[in-house]
Every structure is written in C-alpha cells, then in structure tokens.
Amino acid sequence: MIVGIIPARGGSKGLPRKNIKEIAGFPLLYWTIEAAKSSKLLDDFYVSTDDVEIAEVAKKYNAKVIMRSPELARDDTTTLAVLKDIVVNKVSCDDVVVLQPTSPLRNHDTIDQCIREFQAGEYDTLATGYYTKIIEYASHQNMRRQDIKGFFYDDGNIYIIKGKLIRQNRWFGDKICRLVLDRELNYEIDDITDFKIVEFLLRDRLKEGKQPSGIYDKLKKIKLFAMDVDGILTDAGMYYTEKGDELKKFNTLDGKGIELIRNIGIKTAIITSEKTKIVERRAKKMGIDFLYQGVKDKAAVINELAQSLKIGLDEIAYIGDDVNDISALKIVGLPITVKSASPENKDIAKLLVPVNGGEGCIRYVCNMIINSKK
C-alpha cells in the first residue's frame, strides 16, 4: 500500500502561517491536496498537522487529517519522527510518499512519475532534485563551473521511503533513486521571495494547463456566470452627491471581462437585492444578459435561470460577498467570493478571488473561465 503524507505544521518561522497563506486564489496547502487527490497511484493520503485551522482547511478540500501531538510539532522535530509516529501507530502501509505543501508546482503526473520510477527500479528510497555546481567561495582559485563536480541536491518536492526504513529511523536506504525534475519544479517556499516567485510560476502553469485543479474542471463546465453588485462589481462604498443622489463606483476591467466571456458563449446575470437605475445602466453597458433587481431569494432566481436556459446547476458560477448571497452560493456548481467577503461566504466558496470587490474581481474570474476552456 502506497500512502501519501502531507506534513503541515502550524508554527512555520520563515513565513508565518505559510501552509494556509493564500497563493493563486487558494491556501498553499490546497495545491498539494489537489495533486494527491488526482494521483492514480496513491492508495490514500493524509495531512499531518498540529494546527486546528490547518486541519479545517484540509477537511474543506476533502483531505483526511492526522492530528499530531505537541511533541511532534516543535521547531526541532524532524519529518522522519512525524512519519515514524504515523506508520507505527496510525496507518499501515508499505511505502510512504512525502508531499510537502511548500512545493505547490508539483502535480499528480509528477507524483505518479516518481512512484513508477520507484517501483520499476525496486528502490527503497527516492528523492527529487537537481545537480548543483555550488562550491564555497575562497575554496578554489576561480575554478570553471564546468570543472566543478557538483552534487545532487534534494529539492523537497517528493520523497518516497519504504515503511520498514521509517520504522528503523532511517531517512534513506541502500538503493536510492535521485530523480531530476524540470527546473521550475525545484522551487520550494521558505520565505516571501520564494512565495512571490512560485506564485508567478503557478499562475503561469494554470494558464498553460500544466497545473490540474478541481476548480478548473468546474470552470470548464460553466455556461452562466451570475453575480451580486455591491461588494462585487463595486467596492461596497456608499457615495452621495451634495444633493443626496447615490453614486456607485464600478471597475472597467470587469466590463471587459464580461465582454470576453460573452464572446465565447457564456451567459451573464446580475442578481441584486437593491433596485437602482445606476445598476440598470451599468448592466446595459456591460451587455449583461439577465438583470434581476430587488431580489429577496437569490437561490430561486438561480433555479429559474437554470430551467429557462436548460442547464444544470453545476454549470452555473455565482459570486457574492455577503450573507444574503449564501442561498445562491450553496446551490451552484462553483460558488465564488472575494478577499473582502464575510467569513460565512468564505467558508462556502470553492474559489476565493485574491482581490477585493470593485478591484476587478469579475475580470479575474472571467480570465480563469477563458483559460479553462482553451
């Protein structure tokens, strides 16, 4: 039995709370969970943590959680000690695949490639990494790089270890596979600079379809994108003229995004509890297909649209930021919210847009829809 273990301690020092820090719209931990879930060769996988919040995030994305004791969550605790506790006391397995959340660029294909290599070569240990030409300064007289022998550096992306070695307190055995990966997969996150580099690469891989995601699978199915107004198309601010006339501030990026998804056949709808001429004019300018104002039951409107368009609820995305959007968020295939949303909405949403309402969040989702359909 091959079991994946995702070690996710709560007390990271270089980048506090990094395992659940938002990256490319999701907690860092999400990307490793998605890769493990999509693997064809892992028999099962678990998130190991000492942190209640991390455990809740893991459960939200349908991962099994093993809570570890405080003694196994200290700064000087080794991954090997955590693994030994698991294989001796909690999970029966033959081989353990270690998947650290700090390497989010790894996808399920990479996991399965490593497992196949491990099994085909009958190895007892595998580590991913690269050969480096690093040598200490002042230890040589300007030696040419090509003359430096170098060594294999394990990048922390994937380790596979025989369970019997772990029980013997051994991190590696006698037959080791040193597997070289594509350069971009060697990046891991230790500090904020690493984080920025990896986020850029992650977004790029998503656009190129190299980073499979359950969310992107949902985006591919979308035929209707429905949205709230205040706190989504606007910043939720209330603006008034000297005469007391109400004003709203919209973002032009959103209008362009709606135009782009309309060009590929996606229908759009605005569903708002308020009723104003401002929203009517803005909807008309953006070319919104369906406008519902003064709505008390947004879920009922979503159901009505599904019936009239002859589409399933799983083909509808809805974005809303406050509690009056919850009924709609609960029934659609892809519930979405924004950085500035209420905690209740964030708990329900499957996609958290990493910007606030009024800052181009609709354009962000539209870009994701377009990229998912390429």
**DSSP annotation string for 90-151:** T---SEEEEE-TT-TT--HHHHHHHHHHHHHTT-SEEEEEEEE----TTSSSS--GGG---E
Q: Are residues 95 and 136 in the same domain?
A: yes
DSSP string, 340-363: TS-HHHHHH-SEEESS-TTSSHHH
Amino acid code (one letter) for 209? G
The reply to whether 204 and 222 lie within a common domain is: no
Count of CB atoms situated within 10 Å of the CB of 250: 18
* Cα dihedral 16, 48, 212, 102 in deg (nearest 10): 30
Q: Is 41 helix (H, G, I), strand (E, B) or coil?
A: coil
In a shared domain, residues 38 and 128: yes
pLDDT of 312 higher than 80: yes
Mean pLDDT, range 171-197, rounded to an integer: 94
Q: What is the pLDDT of residues 139-182, one digit of tens each?
A: 888 888 888 888 999 999 999 999 999 999 999 999 999 999 99
Considering the domain architecture, whether residues 316 and 205 belong to the same structural domain is answered as: no
Least confident of 76-80, 211-215, 342-346: 211-215
The answer on 248 and 181 residing in a single domain is no
Q: Are residues 185 and 333 in the same domain?
A: no
CATH code of the domain in which 289 resides: 3.40.50.1000
| Judgement on whether residues 281 and 192 belong to the same structural domain of the protein | no
Sequence-distant (≥ 6) Cβ neighbours of residue 193 within 8 angstroms: none
Same domain, 37 and 166: yes
Boundary-marking domain end, from 174, 190, 209: 209
Do 145 and 192 reside in the same domain of the chain?
yes
- Give the model confidence (pLDDT) of 230-265 as tens digits: 999 998 877 777 777 778 889 999 999 999 999 999
- Predicted confidence band at 192 (pLDDT cuts at 50, 70, 90)? very high
What's residue 213's pLDDT?
67
Indicate which CATH number applies to the domain containing 178: 3.90.550.10
Q: Please say which residue of 209, 234, 249 terminates a domain.
A: 209
**pLDDT at residue 171, as a whole number:** 96
Q: Are 261 and 364 in contact (CB under 8 A)?
A: no
Distances (CA, A) of 276 to 2, 12, 250, 273: 59, 49, 14, 10
- Residues 356-373 have pLDDT tens digits of 999 999 998 998 898 777
Assess whether 113 and 259 both reside in one domain: no
Q: Between these two residues, 122 and 140, which has the higher pLDDT value?
A: 122
Q: Is 251 in the same domain as 300?
A: yes
Q: Are residues 202 and 278 in the same domain?
A: no
CB 157 within 8 A of CB 4: no
Q: Tell me which of 130-144, 209-223, 275-289 is least confident.
A: 209-223
Quote the number of domains for the chain.
2
Query: Range of 327's domain?
Result: 216-372
What pLDDT was estimated at residue 212? 62
Please give the mean pLDDT across all residues of the chain: 91
The answer, as to whether pTM is greater than 0.85, is: no
Domain boundary among 179, 209, 239: 209
